């Protein structure tokens, strides 16, 4: 089977005890791109062109800025500034202003690192579906996982057809795990709320203690920083 990406990291993260193994993978993918953008990639013309065209979102600018190679960030943001500057020229009418406003909004909503991450993550979504169909014990690993954050669950559904002849089975395991673990988080939230009732003051919190951190990941994914 020719997979879209190496399966090693998938096995590693799916075996870990976490609310979304894809968030854990995405963190690693993101770190690789941040590293590249602060080192080798900055020297490549091809990358400089892409940076000029799209720039960075605020989150990724901050993440680059937090790391040691500030000159690299400055060179890249300088390249981007050259592309943005012409958008700031004189505007002569309300109609033109509306058009310009749209152009500026589009120009500030792109991010070359977000794009690279999404491109790379899509290979993971496809490969996971293929592994379900072709790797003998992968379904067991999936069945022992704790489901996914909503965004990554949606992505796995979107690319489920890559499981080919096993797509129906794949979808039934995916939804089973997601439902089961979402219900668990709902129970944790309820237990947490109940624990604030004075009548339960002396009851141990149990899993409810992690209700909100778990809900954070299930709803929004793991913080990618
Ligand atoms: Zn996730
Ligand atoms: Zn970004």
What is the tens place of the pLDDT at every residue in 11-27? 999 999 999 999 999 99
Residues around the ion ligand 2 (C-beta < 5 A): 57, 60, 111, 113-114
Ligand of minimum distance to the alpha carbon of 219: 1
Ligand of minimum distance to the alpha carbon of 178: 1
Distance CA 211, CA 193 (A): 9
Give the other-Cβ count within 10 Å of 117's Cβ.
Answer: 19
**pLDDT at res. 195:** 84
Q: How far is the CA of 33 from the centre of ligand 1 (A)?
A: 18
pLDDT in tens, the chain (225 residues): 788 888 999 999 999 999 999 999 999 999 999 998 888 766 678 888 888 899 999 999 999 999 988 998 998 899 999 999 999 999 999 999 999 999 999 988 999 999 999 999 999 999 999 999 999 999 999 999 999 999 999 999 999 999 999 999 999 999 999 999 999 999 999 988 888 888 777 777 777 789 999 999 999 999 887
Distance CA 81, CA 99 (A): 20
pTM: 0.89
Q: How far is the CA of 78 from the centre of ligand 1 (A)?
A: 33
Q: How far is the CA of 76 from the centre of ligand 2 (A)?
A: 14
Q: How far is the CA of 51 from the centre of ligand 1 (A)?
A: 26
Q: How far is the CA of 56 from the centre of ligand 2 (A)?
A: 5
Asked if 131 and 79 touch (Cβ cutoff 8 Å), the reply is no
Ligand of minimum distance to the alpha carbon of 26: 1
Per residue in 134-149, is it b (16+ CB within 10 Å) or e — as a string? Answer: ebeebbebbeebbbbb
- What are the structural domain ranges in the chain? 8-220
**pLDDT at res. 50:** 87
Pick the closest to residue 117 from 53, 25, 39, 48 (CA basis): 25
Q: How far is the CA of 202 from the centre of ligand 1 (A)?
A: 35
Give the other-Cβ count within 10 Å of 199's Cβ.
Answer: 7
Q: How far is the CA of 149 from the centre of ligand 1 (A)?
A: 4
Residues around the ion ligand 1 (C-beta < 5 A): 20, 22-23, 149, 152, 221
Distance CA 36, CA 39 (A): 5
Distance CA 42, CA 171 (A): 41
Ligand of minimum distance to the alpha carbon of 149: 1
């Amino acid at each position: 089977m020719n997979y879209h990406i190496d399966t090693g990291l998938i096995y590693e993260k799916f075996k870990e005890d976490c609310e979304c193994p894809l968030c854990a993978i995405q963190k690693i993918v993101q770190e690789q791109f941040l590293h590249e953008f602060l080192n080798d990639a900055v020297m490549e013309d091809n990358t400089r062109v892409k940076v000029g065209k799209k720039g960075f979102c605020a989150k990724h600018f901050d993440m680059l800025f937090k790391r040691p190679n500030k000159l690299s960030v400055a060179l890249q943001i300088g390249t981007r500034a050259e592309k943005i500057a012409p958008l700031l020229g004189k505007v002569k009418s309300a109609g033109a202003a509306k058009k310009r406003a749209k152009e500026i909004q589009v120009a500030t909503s792109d991010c070359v690192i977000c794009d690279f991450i999404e491109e790379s993550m899509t290979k993971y979504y496809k490969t996971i579906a293929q592994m379900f169909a072709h790797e003998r014990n992968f379904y067991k690993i999936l069945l022992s996982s704790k489901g996914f954050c909503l965004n990554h669950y949606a992505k796995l559904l979107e690319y489920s057809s890559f499981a080919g002849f096993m797509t129906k089975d794949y979808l039934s395991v995916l939804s089973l795990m997601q439902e089961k673990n979402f219900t668990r988080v709902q129970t944790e939230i309820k237990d947490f709320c109940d624990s604030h009732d004075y009548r339960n003051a002396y009851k141990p919190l149990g899993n409810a203690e992690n209700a909100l951190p778990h809900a954070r990941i299930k709803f929004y994914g793991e913080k990618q920083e």
